[in-house]
């Protein structure tokens, strides 16, 4: 069993790519939303859980959860031995390596498995998606349709002109 942790604010097609591939590698995958009180997310944890639950519905061995505190402790509480992480670029690797080594120090039996982002998804980030839609840009194909709708409602973003054609 593996845990794929993240803020998922919001979930993107890049996240879904990692989830789909992870669901084939592990008998059970928990996609877990980090509750981090020091950040100001666009969507609440329950909203992110709701969007994730709909997005992962096609994968019967994937479930959605949330956690706060140390990921290593959360993994232990779920009897997970693997943390799944996606890497988009070399710049992601340094931070991910530090977290993986710290998690292994805290829980020596805990391994981190890195999946390289699919080529079509390597530029997508939740931050960039929010920025593009807030400026009226087209995010079609970058997030699931429900997420795009929720982003438009939350940010009062107009439909991008390239989508209207």
Q: State residue 42's pLDDT score.
A: 93
Antiparallel, parallel or unpaired: β 29-34 and 2-6:
parallel
With respect to residue 56, please indicate whether it lies within any of the assigned structural domains. Answer: yes
With respect to residue 103, please indicate whether it lies within any of the assigned structural domains. Answer: yes
Give yes or no: 126 in active site: yes
Give yes or no: 127 in active site: no
Q: State residue 163's pLDDT score.
A: 47
With respect to residue 163, please indicate whether it lies within any of the assigned structural domains. Answer: no
Please pick, among 88, 104, 152, 154, the residue that the annotation labels catalytic.
Answer: 88
- Count Cβ atoms below 10 Å from residue 83 Cβ, excluding itself: 25
With respect to residue 142, please indicate whether it lies within any of the assigned structural domains. Answer: no
Quickly list DSSP for 14-75: HHHHHHHHHHHHSS-EEEEEE--TTS--SS-HHHHHHHHHHHTTT-TTEEEEEE-S-HHHHH
pLDDT tens by residue, the chain, 165 residues: 999 999 999 999 999 999 999 999 999 999 999 987 777 899 999 999 999 999 999 999 999 999 999 999 999 999 999 999 999 888 889 999 999 999 999 999 999 999 998 888 888 899 999 999 999 899 999 999 999 999 988 987 566 554 444
Range of the domain at 95: 2-122
Residue position matching structure tokens 């998606």: 129
With respect to residue 161, please indicate whether it lies within any of the assigned structural domains. Answer: no
Tokens of 145: 């349709």
Q: Is 68 helix (H, G, I), strand (E, B) or coil?
A: coil
Quickly list DSSP for 143-161: B-HHHHHHHHHHHTPPPPH
Q: How many domains would you assign to the chain?
A: 1
CATH of the domain at 61: 3.40.50.620
Exposure of 113 in the CB half-sphere (CA atoms within 13 A) = 17
With respect to residue 143, please indicate whether it lies within any of the assigned structural domains. Answer: no
Q: Is 34 helix (H, G, I), strand (E, B) or coil?
A: strand
With respect to residue 78, please indicate whether it lies within any of the assigned structural domains. Answer: yes
Give yes or no: 39 in active site: yes
Q: State residue 36's pLDDT score.
A: 79
Please pick, among 39, 40, 156, 162, the residue that the annotation labels catalytic.
Answer: 39
Model's pTM, two decimal places?
Answer: 0.90
With respect to residue 16, please indicate whether it lies within any of the assigned structural domains. Answer: yes
Give yes or no: 15 in active site: yes
């Amino acid at each position: 069993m593996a845990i794929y942790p993240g803020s998922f604010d919001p979930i993107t097609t890049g996240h879904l790519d990692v989830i789909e591939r992870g669901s084939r590698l592990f008998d059970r995958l928990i996609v877990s939303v980090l509750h981090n009180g020091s950040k100001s997310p666009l969507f609440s944890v329950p909203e992110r859980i709701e969007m994730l639950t709909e997005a992962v519905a096609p994968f019967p061995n994937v479930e959605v959860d949330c956690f706060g505190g140390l990921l290593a402790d959360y993994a232990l509480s779920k009897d997970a031995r693997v943390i799944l992480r996606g890497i988009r670029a070399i710049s992601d690797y340094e931070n991910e390596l530090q977290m993986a080594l710290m998690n292994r120090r805290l829980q020596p039996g805990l391994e981190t498995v890195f999946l390289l982002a699919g080529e079509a998804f390597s530029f997508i980030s939740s931050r960039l998606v929010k920025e593009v839609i807030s400026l009226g840009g087209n995010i079609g194909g970058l997030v699931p349709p429900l997420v795009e709708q929720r982003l438009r409602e939350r940010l009062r973003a107009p439909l991008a002109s390239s989508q209207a054609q």
